[in-house]
Structure 1
Amino acid sequence: MYNYIMNFDQNISRRDFLKFTGLAAGSLLLPFGKVSGSNLLQEWPVGVNLGRLAAGELRSFIDLKAEPNMNAPATTRVWRDDVFEIKQEVIANVLDFNRYNQKWYETPDGYIYAPYVQPVKNLPNQPLTELPLDDQGQRGMWVEITVPRVNFELTKPWSNASSWIRDSEGLAKLYYSEVFWASDIRSMDGRIEYLLSEKYGALPDYYWVDARACRPITEEEISPIHPDVGDKRVLVNLQTQTLHCFEGSHEVYFCEVSTGYIREGEWLTPPETTPVWRKLVSLHMSAGGVSQYDSPGIAWTTLYHPDGQAIHSVYWHNNFGVALSHGCINCLPHDAKWIWRWINPTIALYPGELTVPDSSQSTFVQVIES
């Protein structure tokens, strides 16, 4: 599988990126108050626009600026996984010729470069007291994380878990827009918790999570978009870092994306035309452990290339329009979900996966260089 490693400009390594942005080791701040229990949700404003600092290593920080440009003086600093209010999106007041994106977020304490930030909301849910039945008559459901971040309780030693957990030094969390499978339910200290795991592409890790962080995904919200239209085509332009959905000659959807960058003279996202061969509600993607990437809960995954390239949601960057992945086509969650619903063939919520038996029924993905 291919996936993104946290590089925000083409051909910049993770280590160089940290040096370039001034990120350094430190302790994690909790800007909205301390967590009173290991699995309890933090209290963030409900329904307002929030941001989570997604850039950098765990225990790293970045400075907020007095103005929306990199050379402005610092006002304070935020740490990896800090959550803060986004008052508005603005454009840099000094054009930065080293960056494609000129977007910044205004926060109550200063400005932060938007590509470093995952846009999130805090949308707690009413927990269920019983899980629904899946297609096999077993209790279970797909859930989406709808709070900025949430802690969890692993059911086995951390040393035996996937590398995203094992190598996190106890700081691993689940993040807004990730999707998992809930297979059990319990009451713990007066709150309901779901037992989450990943059905596809992962080690058998199980973790208890506050049910208020988890929104059940319904059949209605993944209903196919224009399923009877056979003449569908996805066009990805590597030069412009854009994705276009066509029905015949009519464009029905457009978004900016992040594809694979150029390495040794070749795009890591191959310029070819290939059919969709697998679709999943959620997939765990990894290669080489945390030294490359190990990413759980990747929602709305559409695999189209035999080497493993896919169109999918991301929660670890917001730098769309810049080529920076290992080969996959990174999308904002709502873009990835729309594309996933629109692309043929259709897929049912249960089991949430389909390997296409006949590519003649599939939408083709055409990747071009310009």
Structure 2
Amino acid sequence: MRPSRRTLIKLGSLGLLRALLPPLPPVDFYTDGEPARPVTRRPAIAFARSLQFGALIRSEPNLRAPQVGVLRRDDVLPIYAEVQTESGPPHNKLWYEVEGGYLHSASAHPVRWQLNQPVNDAGAHGFWAEVTVPFVDSRVAPSVKAAPTKYRYYGGTVYKVIQVVKSPDTPEDVRARPLPFSGSTAWWYRIEDESFPGLYFVPASHLRPVAQAEFAPISPDVDPREKRIVVKLREQRLYAYEGKREVFTCRIASGTYFKDAETGELKDYTTTPGVWYVFHKTPTQHMYGGAVGDDESFDLPGIPWVSYFTRSGIAVHGTYWHNDYGVPRSHGCVNVRSEDAKWVWRWTLPPNDYKERYATLPVKERQNPARGTTVIVE
């Protein structure tokens, strides 16, 4: 029997669309106490995680098309195709074809759904790992019975694994408390949070170890003084140059204004124009700030591939809380897709050591284009 669209949306919110990703074997799941088998459809190119409550699925890729579905935050659906149309805001006319209709790309974060073979030893220095399922809730102990922490780790975010722990759970425990997106829960990774130390455990199968080769610099033989990043605020685009040759470009979301919850005044978080130099880099950063309730408040673990270029903390980094590039919307940083942030991170100086969390230039070297890549914001 073919599940209804309503059932599939429920399955998406529980992370139970596993059979739609061809490499994963089909399994039985239960919804509302009734058995429901995921139905094999045409292959998904990715999965869409809803970024907000009330994200609308429409019958056609058009903002005026009838609504055929409503998603909650973190509902997950397969993406069958990307569609460019004339309908949408001027900076973003990309739609995703999903089950039952079309979802505007600004409403969803495209993510992977990949389960991984656990690493059985973190080693003396730990290792870096990327979340490869739409999301996973961290817990205070390596068990499905343990209480969740306040942090949900989203697809594409990166963390430092400092310990590998075998779970004490029995098969009965796991069956009684199935986790979203399935996968083995026999082994768990303990995550190091540099901003808020504590106990954070996640199933090892939900994270992919980042290989040391992924830290290798891009174009290391190019004279560092010939490398430069140019951020064009009017275009909302980043360019990378080696001499006069453009070698990379991507869309961005730069800083904007946010409203103060108490005064109603707008605060200026626009990205500061000028000539800067990358001086501090990290594979991942837990960023937070602002007062609770303010438009400007945020608490975001695992931001990937961060390249700081001002002392006030402005950086180029990956983004998972929005998918709407081409318009200012950040707290000053240059938001880009995580894969674009990784390219910039590998291409710029200073280089990163896999064993270290940070690569930081001494103060006296922070305006030396031979040591830190030039960034021009204009």
Q: One fold, TM greater than 0.5?
A: yes
2:159 aligned residue: 180
* Distance of 1:86 and 1:42 partners within structure 2: 11
* Distance of 1:295 and 1:253 partners within structure 2: 27
**SS of structure 2 residue aligned to 1:31:** helix
**Superposed counterparts of 1:163-174, under 5 Å:** 166=150, 172-174=151-153
The answer (yes or no) to whether the contact 1:45–1:122 under 8 Å persists in 2 is no
2:229 aligned residue: 234
Q: Percent identity?
A: 32
* Distance of 1:128 and 1:153 partners within structure 2: 19
1:285 to 279, 284, 287: 287
2:304 aligned residue: 299
Aligned-pair Cα RMSD in Å: 2.6
Q: Does the alignment pair 1:225 with 2:230?
A: no
* Distance of 2:267 and 2:71 partners within structure 1: 37
**SS of structure 1 residue aligned to 2:55:** strand
**SS of structure 1 residue aligned to 2:120:** coil
**SS of structure 1 residue aligned to 2:332:** coil
**SS of structure 2 residue aligned to 1:338:** helix
The answer (yes or no) to whether the contact 1:32–1:43 under 8 Å persists in 2 is no
Residue 33 of structure 1, CA deviation:
8.1
* Distance of 2:277 and 2:57 partners within structure 1: 44
1:344 aligned residue: 349
* Distance of 2:278 and 2:374 partners within structure 1: 6
Question: Which ranges in structure 2 are unaligned for 5 or more consecutive residues?
Answer: 1-8, 24-43, 170-184, 259-265
Aligned residue type for 2:346: R
Residue 197 of structure 1, CA deviation:
2.4
Q: Runs ≥4 in structure 1, deviation > 6 angstroms?
A: 263-267
Q: Does the alignment pair 1:249 with 2:244?
A: yes
Q: Does the alignment pair 1:49 with 2:45?
A: yes
Q: Does the alignment pair 1:113 with 2:104?
A: yes
* Distance of 1:147 and 1:244 partners within structure 2: 30
Residue 145 of structure 1, CA deviation:
0.5
* Distance of 2:14 and 2:314 partners within structure 1: 40
Residue 332 of structure 1, CA deviation:
0.6
1:321 aligned residue: 326
The answer (yes or no) to whether the contact 1:33–1:42 under 8 Å persists in 2 is no
Greater RCO, CA 8 A, separation 6+: 1
The answer (yes or no) to whether the contact 1:49–1:120 under 8 Å persists in 2 is no
**Superposed counterparts of 1:90-129, under 5 Å:** 90-92=83-85, 95-96=87-88, 98-129=89-120
2:196 to 196, 199, 203: 203
| TM-score scaled by length of structure 1 | 0.78
Alpha-carbon spacing, 1:347–1:267, altered in 2? closer, same or farther (3 Å): same
Aligned residue type for 1:209: V
1:4 aligned residue: none
| Superposed CA offset, 1:208-229 (max 9, x none) | 1110011111211110011232
The answer (yes or no) to whether the contact 2:91–2:325 under 8 Å persists in 1 is no
**SS of structure 1 residue aligned to 2:352:** coil
Residue 103 of structure 1, CA deviation:
1.1
2:377 aligned residue: 367
* Distance of 1:282 and 1:90 partners within structure 2: 31
| Superposed CA offset, 1:85-135 (max 9, x none) | 11111123x534x5421111111211111111111111111011222332x
| TM-score scaled by length of structure 2 | 0.77
Aligned residue type for 1:312: H
* Distance of 1:53 and 1:42 partners within structure 2: 12
Question: Which ranges in structure 1 are unaligned for 5 or more consecutive residues?
Answer: 1-28, 36-40, 135-139, 167-171
* Distance of 1:255 and 1:211 partners within structure 2: 32
1:275 aligned residue: 277
Residue 165 of structure 1, CA deviation:
5.5
